């Protein structure tokens, strides 16, 4: 099932990339990044089945980094929203407001 898993992983990753490129809502872009991380996790798990359990340990670390990233990223979005009430990235265009 390695080839099928890698296929699904690639398709999910591409959907995530297309989502990041075509949306402007900061939270949706964040969720697309999470989707890409999930796609990579699927590839790790598929390889772990063939080449040993170290891949699953890596998935563990990827999930930790994703959790940290979600916490900090959402805090940044809330701080931005407090400054200017929008999550549309096109309207967040000033380094100094």
Partner 1 sequence: MPKGDFPLFYTFHFYLFGIVAVVSALLFVTRKSPVAAALWLVNTMFCLAALYVLLDAQFIGAIQVLVYAGAIMVVFLFVIMLLNLGHPSELADARGTGWKVAALAVGVVLLAEVFTLTRARLPESRALPPGFIAQEIAREGAIAPIARPLFTEYLLAFELTSILLLAAIVGAVVLGRRRQDAG
Tell me the closest approach of the beta carbon of residue 11 to partner 1, in angstroms.
5
CA distances (Å), 2 to each of 6, 12, 45, 83, 94, in order?
6, 15, 9, 47, 46
Tell me the closest approach of the beta carbon of residue 41 to partner 1, in angstroms.
7
- Judged by CB, which is closer to partner 1: 1, or 94? 1
CA distances (Å), 43 to each of 8, 19, 65, 87, in order?
9, 20, 17, 32
- Two structure tokens written together for 37: 């991380």
What is the binding site for partner 1 (CB under 8 A)?
1-8, 10-19, 21-25, 27-28, 30-32, 34-35, 38, 41-42, 45-46, 48-54, 56-57, 59-61, 63-72, 74-79, 81-82, 86-88
- Judged by CB, which is closer to partner 1: 27, or 96? 27
């Amino acid at each position: 099932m390695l080839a099928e898993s890698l296929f699904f992983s690639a398709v999910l990753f591409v959907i995530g990339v297309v989502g990041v490129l075509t949306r402007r809502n900061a939270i949706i872009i964040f969720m697309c990044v999470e989707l890409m991380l999930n796609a990579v996790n699927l590839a790790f798990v598929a390889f772990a089945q063939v080449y040993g359990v170290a891949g699953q340990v890596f998935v563990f670390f990827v999930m930790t980094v994703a959790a940290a990233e979600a916490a900090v990223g959402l805090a940044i979005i809330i701080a931005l929203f407090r400054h200017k009430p929008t999550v549309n990235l096109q309207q967040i265009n000033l380094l100094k407001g």
